[in-house]
Amino acid sequence: AAKRRGRSCHVVYSAGLRAAVTDISTARHDILGAIARDELICHYQAQFDARSLQIVGAEALVRWSCPDRGLLGPDKFLPQAAAAGLLHRIDRHVLTLVLEQQTRWHAEGVPYPPVAINTSAARLRDRDFVDSVLIQLEPHHDISFELLETAFLDKLEPCLAETLDRMRAAGLRVELDDFGSGHSSVAALQAVRPDRVKIDRSLVAPLRTRPEQALTLDALSRLARLEGAGVVVEGLESGMQLAAIRDIDCDALQGYILQRPLAADDFAAMLCQARRGVA
C-alpha cells in the first residue's frame, strides 16, 4: 500500500511539475514574442515639484499591448517573466523604448522631463548592464534607474555593489523604489546610497484614516536626507493625502490625484499644454 501511495504521489507531483514547466515555457514563448513583435509599450506618470507643483520628472511603466488580451499591466506578465528568467530582457527592452521616445520628443521639441526606469536586480546582474546603457546614451537623454529596496535584502551582493559603484562613477542616477515597504530599509539605504528614495504608497495610504502617519513619513524622509538622498512620495490618491503631506520635507510628488500614467502621446500633449499654460 505504501508503495502504491508513493507511486501515486509521484504521479501527482510530476503532473504538477509538468504543468509548471509548460506554463513557464509558454510564458517564455509569449514574452519573447511580445518583445519581437514590439507589443511592449511604456506609459508615463508625471512627478511634480512638492512646492511649485511643476512637472519635474516622470516614471516609465511598462504595459503589454496584447492583440488577444488587450492592454495588460505589469502585474499580469512581470511575475511570469520573472519565473521564466526574462525580467532582464524586458528591462533591457524598456530602456531602449524610453531612450527612443526621448529621441523622438527631442526631435519634436517636446519639453520632456527626466524619466525614471524600473530596473530589476536580474537586469543589474547582467554583466554588460552599465556598458550597454552608456553605449546607448546621447546628450539629449535624461534618465534614472529605480531599484526595488527588496533587491538589497541584508547586505549588498558583491556584484551588485560593483555595478552600483560603476553607475555612480558614470553619473547614472539611482533611486530606491518602494522605500519603507521592506524589512531592511535602513540597510538598503546605506548600502545603495541612492540619489533619491521613493516612499512606498503602502505608507501613504494610511494617511486617510491616521493623520499621525504624516509624522512617520516625515521621519522616513529625514532618514533619507541624512544619507544624502532626495525624497519622492508616491501613491497620492486624494486631496486629503495631498494636504497631509504638505508639512513633510520632500522634493517630489507622484500619484493618481496629480496625474495617472498616460500613453506617450497623451503625456507629450500634456507637457506641451503645460508649457503653453506657463508661457
Rounded to the nearest whole angstrom, what is the least distance from the CB of residue 164 to ligand C2E in the complex? 17
Rounded to the nearest whole angstrom, what is the least distance from the CB of residue 216 to Mg ion in the complex? 17
User: Which of residues 265 and 276 has its CB atom nearest to ligand C2E in the complex?
Assistant: 265
> CA angle, corner 258, sides to 254 and 259, nearest 5?
85
* Interaction site with ligand C2E (CB under 6 A): 45, 61-62, 73-75, 78, 87, 90-91, 94, 118, 120, 146, 177-178, 201, 235-237, 254-256, 261
User: Which of residues 27 and 233 has its CB atom nearest to Mg ion in the complex?
Assistant: 233
User: Which of residues 221 and 254 has its CB atom nearest to ligand C2E in the complex?
Assistant: 254
Burial annotation 254-264 (CB, 10 A radius, 16+ → b, else e):
bbeebbebbeb
Instruction: Give the distance from CA 118 to its chain's centroid.
Output: 3
Burial annotation 75-92 (CB, 10 A radius, 16+ → b, else e):
eebbebbeebebbbbbbb
Cα(95)–Cα(152) distance, integer angstroms? 22
Q: In sequence order, which ranges of 109-228 are alpha helices (DSSP H)?
A: 121-124, 129-136, 158-169, 185-192, 201-204, 213-226
Rounded to the nearest whole angstrom, what is the least distance from the CB of residue 175 to Mg ion in the complex? 8
User: Which of residues 89 and 201 has its CB atom nearest to Mg ion in the complex?
Assistant: 201
Give me the half-sphere count of Cα atoms (radius 13 Å) on the Cβ side of residue 79.
5
Q: Which does 235 bind (CB under 5 to 8 A by kind): ligand C2E, Mg ion, none?
A: ligand C2E
* Interaction site with Mg ion (CB under 5 A): 118, 146, 177-178
User: Which of residues 73 and 111 has its CB atom nearest to ligand C2E in the complex?
Assistant: 73
Rounded to the nearest whole angstrom, what is the least distance from the CB of residue 52 to ligand C2E in the complex? 20
Q: Hey, how many other C-beta atoms are within 10 angstroms of the C-beta on 188? A: 27
Rounded to the nearest whole angstrom, what is the least distance from the CB of residue 29 to ligand C2E in the complex? 20
